Structure 1
Amino acid sequence: MSGHTTNLRLKLPLLCLVLQLLTILLFAIFVCYDDQTSARLWHEKLKHHNKSHLDHEFYLRYPSFQDVHTMIFVGFGFLMTFLRRYSFSSVAFNFLIAAFAIQWAVLIQGFFHSFHQGKIFIGIESLINADFCAGAVLISFGAVLGKTSPIQLLLMTWLEVVLFAVNEYVLLNILGAKDAGGSMTIHTFGAYFGLMASRVLYRPHLDKSQEREGSSYHSDLFAMIGTIFLWLFWPSFNSAITAHGDDQQRTVMNTYFSLTSSTLATFATSALVNTGGKLDMVKSMQLSFLGSHPECSSGRRGGHWDVWRDDVDSLWGLDCRAPRWLRVNAWLQIPYAHSGLQTENPGHLRSPQPPWDARDPRCPPGGSGGSSGHS
């Protein structure tokens, strides 16, 4: 045990240092501010294009970014505390890999979606998309929770972010799929990546530690806190980068009503199937926000019938990411993926486009994201 501790003491700081230095170097070389973030370009827009500060994308997107950011670090962090032996590790490792995943995702997603004239142009949507990518990583993290070291988790994050960006580009840009809330690109990809990671890391002797997989009263209580945070902010998650106006408002409202109705259905079902009509806290915690997932792909559905139909699907578990992926073993049961390609929702609003004078290959003055992105 002492040898393992010594190796972790040396390898983890070294790996963190290498990954951070690599990220800073790539930011310094490739990253520039977009026309909404660069001081020179934005003030030129104000002067020559009859713009006002109220037209800035920041005011429209930042509230949703705050909500999604809270979900990633608080919601997912406390949701992972359901294992009594790994509650503290869950929050700490969630913090670690999410912080790295966001930085790495800005770069990798930028190469696929906003790379022009040798530069990656970033703005507020880059941060939202990076949070989405981190969400997929944290879903996978739930599948290997308690079985992996922080070094393994960082390496898994490094690989998964790259594959996430490739999968996202294929689905949204090549196949033209519409996936505003990330049913396919985030939830399903994260679940199946976690499944494969758990299979690759599986060793027969790991079965001996199954007794450590149980929960306790306090671990379930903290996990419930994470669930509440996810439940509260899920409308923002689904609508963060949908088109402004009626599409965004409809996505929020549909998700809102699906969440509330699925919560009532969850408690009713729990009392019905349990002996003595007792409520099962774990099942209620896991199933209460299932109504949000079908809504990931239903932002433009306008009628009450569509909302009700999604709630029925959620009640019967026809969802893209039912919580059974949380089982920590090699044979995770991934439920049927309800979300399809035939949705009408606008897809991701991609990372920022280049400035309107992007023909100039130079980075805008003050636009280098290398130092500012990591100060």
Structure 2
Amino acid sequence: METFERARLDAYFGKVAARFAPGEAVTSFLVTHLLPERPCFVRAVAAMSGLRAVLPKPKSIDGTAQREIEKTVPVDVLSRELFADADATLDYFESRAGGEPIVLLDVGGYFAPTLASLYARFSGRVVGVVEDTENGHRRYAALDKPPCPVVSVARSPLKEPEDFLVGQSVVFSTEAVMRGRGDIPHGRPALVIGFGKLGSSIARLLHAKGVQVTVFDTDPVRRTQALSQGFAVARDRQGALAGAGLVLCATGAVSLRGEDFPHVRNGAYVATVTSSEDELELNGLPDVYTRTAAGEHVTRYQTTGHYFYLANGGNAVNFLHGASVGPFIHLVQAEILAAIRMLTRGDLAPGMHEVGAADRGDVAGIWLDYFSR
């Protein structure tokens, strides 16, 4: 990022932070993809709250960005296991922010498993959670009774440009990986698993490139949407896998379980839009499969009579090329800042919430002032 771009982004976030100044002083913990532009957003979060730690998603860490952030904020190692045990979760937050009001900024529902215990036992106060992804939204919504407010931006209209462009970047990176092996998507029937915002974007772009696309989704409403847009719709996952030379997994949950992999067509490529721990049950794959490198960022899984290729170890394929969606990502980041202000007002009941339409309009207006010229 050039100096003038960084200055513009800092000015933008400064305007957003001023518009959504929190109602009370809070501290925060930030889960994020640590991409090259992310330090500007981290500084904005720190300006609105006492940022105690950044927890970067493990498969999306830019070294330069991490070194910059570490100069002012601790960067801790993130894993699903870190917040899976109630006692370990409590120890972590007590060591970082004991006795303080905290806001948890999440990407993927990492805090969900032990949130209730943390809320009940923490020496400070859990003010609430902000969640950025559909996968995380589902994790919090699945809690019997969320103990505190959870503001989700996962289904915000401001996220739709990002979701569309992420789908585009997934197709770009998948094709780049295939071309690196002297292969192309064309001539390979594609299966898109999941027809949400990302999956539908992927399906449309593949179709525009002349690739034959079939969609599989467990939601009957989404299946009707796929049919209305001209896509073939599979009745069962395993039958669809047998005919697909390219499989794009876009559910945000588990697209392929261990028992599904033997049904993948010989020589097919499999790529995902999120981390392997969320999208693929690779540890359930039969032990008879061997794993060997089959090119840059491609692994061949092979057993007697069957083989397939996995892109980027099953992690989000678009992160191989930066996963950039341009300045549109800053719409969602600004909405996260607005959500912090919502939580600090103190008037939200426990449960799931969204940022209001008026605040979204203000975010969009500020964004247009800085990035639409």
TM-score of Structure 1 vs Structure 2, range by shorter chain: under 0.3
Q: What TM-score do the two structures reach when normalised by structure 2?
A: 0.24
| Structure with higher strand content | 2
| Structure with higher helix content | 1
Q: Which has the higher contact order (CA 8 A, sep 6+)?
A: 1
